Structure 1
Amino acid sequence: MPLVTINADEPLPPRLTALAAGLPEGAPLIFMLHGYGFSPRRHAHSPHAHILSLTPRKHRSARSWPRALGFGTGAPDEGLAIAFGWEARGRLHEAYARADEVGVALACAITRLARAARRPVGVIAHSLGARVALAALRALPADAAGAVGRVILLSAAEFRGPALAALDAPGARGTEVFNITTRENDLFDFAMERWLGAPRGSALGHGLGGHGPGPHGQGGGRRNWLDIQIDDPATLTALAGLGHLVQGAPARVSHYSPYLRPGLFGLYRMLLRRPGEMPLPWLAELLPAEQAPRWSRLRAPLDGVISALRHRPVAARTGRTAPPAP
């Protein structure tokens, strides 16, 4: 069975441990976490009928994550996908606080299944699901270090402080984190900072720094963190050179672009299923080290208009003919 549905407030199904233990060598075990606005208790808002389903309901933001990650093929080595649901509706500050608690439940599930499968698990999470994933890394016991191999965060609704604490947690030793960012999400990052309080610092939308060691290096000096800005032309060119052609033009504002733009899930699938073929340090050397400034995508059309006006002929700007050159 390629997909198993579980919820944070329920015990793990007994058969799940057996399924994990029976995975063929090399088959992946991947947890998928939704973000804000979903509720497994309400069918109209259930992630298990939406992005975490093999057959999601028709919706503009509905895309089957498990299918995009290579599940549902019937291949014996396709592995096991875990659709992890949690209550993510209500006021934002309440859901944000709840996500930290849910991370403890996720850590327990990861520890149990990683041990049963005798391999590290992969995690992919969107929005507030990224906070759940990072909270799980902090909650993992020290003897479970290595239980999580790689984490992919999509438009993470979290701040730098908790992310750095997660990277430094004993249970996160050996875990690699890929932080997928885009200037399309700037408005959401700004709103989160305003609504949840500036003292928490800046959102992860601008990552943790450029590549390399040191206080200003990739991941704030952590070598197991990589920021990937998916609306950056140089980044897209580098990914295309690796065979991951991301299609479609970036939007001015979007919170869902990291999983809706065609071509991106091919990258995520490779990162989670075949980590040895795309080492983090190697990928870091190929991608730009810096993130574009906040609001650069929203300002681009305005800057273009201003530039065009500045370079228009005098007659077009004033209605008068320019004086002849001396």
Structure 2
Amino acid sequence: MPLVQVNAAGERPEPQGGAARLGLLLDRALAGLPPRAPVAVLIHGLKFSPSVPELSPHRHILALDPEERCWKAVSWPRALGFTGQSRSEGLCIAFGWESGSNVWRAYDEAARAGVALARLIEAIRLRAPDRRVDLLGHSLGARVALSAMAALSTDAVGHAVLMAPAEFASQAQAALRSTAGRRAKILNVTSGENDLYDWLLERFVARRGDGPTLGRGLGAAQANWADLRIDDAPTLAALAGLGHRVAPPDRRICHWSPYVRPGMLALYAALIRGDLPYELLRTRLPEARAARWSRLLALPRVELSLPFAGNAPS
């Protein structure tokens, strides 16, 4: 059982389809799982709905074999090594929630889904007290992950990978003050490709006191937080030096590059499977900051053919 489908029904976690009880489903999924095998929860972002077949994340990025045929329909579970070939691969939980409405409603719903996710993690820990759960969320899915962290009273979260998070630094700081947040190892994946989406969140969704989005990072002040800016050339060089080659950006605007860019999901797989220690990654990453819109407004790169270049000084 490499993949289990669970949805947030308000603030309650329920198995997809409602045919099985959550406790029995988790009992079967966790039985015989090797001690060091990962347990990972994957959380989608905006415009998905588990209750609407054509919008279901379980037929898209959270599926082993996505039915949707588009460039964004990359199977997260398969790319992360959950193929069903062996129980040693670990347990993958595809977590769906109602994000198919407008962004304002979805932003509020993400907090409720975070409570459901926290209850799911507590149910896992009840059956496997020594296991930590890894979280991978994109966009508003990162808000779900951080909201769950804030609601947990145990150090139940291992790694938390936040891909282009649609969340504010103030909310992340609140999550970091929780028991789970203090012990989790958090990777905040950002890029200038996402500047437009960060600006829209700050301009139209932010409430008083929210401050900047996580696209601007939190810096190195937090010992369990790392900002990974994937449009930064020195950062990509550092990743290559660790044995993880990530394709450079090829778009000025892209909200999905943290998982569609070749090499990104393989990097997360190495992280949650222990092949790339978080502390090593964090210490090797350069500090990478850029002014907002720097990528969007950059002059296009022009390659000139200069017949006299061979005589130029080197």
Normalising by structure 1, what TM-score? 0.85
**Residue ranges of structure 2 left out of the alignment (5+ in a row):** 15-21, 305-314
Match of 2:30 among 13, 16, 20: 20
Q: Are 1:120 and 2:118 matched, yes or no?
A: no
Q: Are 1:91 and 2:102 matched, yes or no?
A: yes
Deviations 1:148-175 (A, max 9, x none): 1110000000000000000011232311
Whichever residue aligns with residue 224 of structure 1, its letter is: N
- Distance in 2 of aligned mates of 1:249 and 1:279: 24
- Distance in 1 of aligned mates of 2:247 and 2:222: 31
Aligned-residue sequence identity (percent) comes to 47
Contact 1:4 1:81 in 2 (8 A): yes
Q: How many residues align?
A: 290
Match of 2:81 among 59, 70, 81: 70
- Distance in 2 of aligned mates of 1:274 and 1:173: 20
Deviations 1:112-145 (A, max 9, x none): 113423310111000000000000000002xx22
Give the CA RMSD over aligned residues: 1.7
Contact 1:18 1:116 in 2 (8 A): no
Paired position in structure 2 for 1:173: 182
Greater Cα radius of gyration, structure 1 or 2: 1
Query: Cα 1:257–1:130, aligned 2, differ >3 Å: closer, same or farther?
Result: same
- Distance in 1 of aligned mates of 2:270 and 2:125: 20
Q: Within 5 Å, give how 1:169-248 maps onto structure 2.
A: 169-197=178-206, 199=208, 200-209=210-219, 218=220, 221-248=221-248
Whichever residue aligns with residue 279 of structure 1, its letter is: Y
Q: CA deviation at 1:22?
A: 2.8
- Distance in 1 of aligned mates of 2:40 and 2:52: 24
Paired position in structure 1 for 2:254: 254
Paired position in structure 2 for 1:212: none
Match of 1:101 among 112, 115, 118: 112
Deviations 1:184-216 (A, max 9, x none): 00000001111113632101011112xxxxxxx
Q: CA deviation at 1:109?
A: 0.4
Whichever residue aligns with residue 273 of structure 2, its letter is: R
SS of 1:177's partner is: strand
**Residue ranges of structure 1 left out of the alignment (5+ in a row):** 210-217, 309-326
SS of 2:100's partner is: coil
Contact 1:122 1:150 in 2 (8 A): yes
Paired position in structure 2 for 1:158: 167
SS of 1:171's partner is: helix
Paired position in structure 2 for 1:286: 284
Paired position in structure 1 for 2:50: 40
- Distance in 2 of aligned mates of 1:153 and 1:29: 17
- Distance in 2 of aligned mates of 1:129 and 1:109: 15
Normalising by structure 2, what TM-score? 0.88
Whichever residue aligns with residue 246 of structure 1, its letter is: V
- Distance in 1 of aligned mates of 2:289 and 2:126: 37
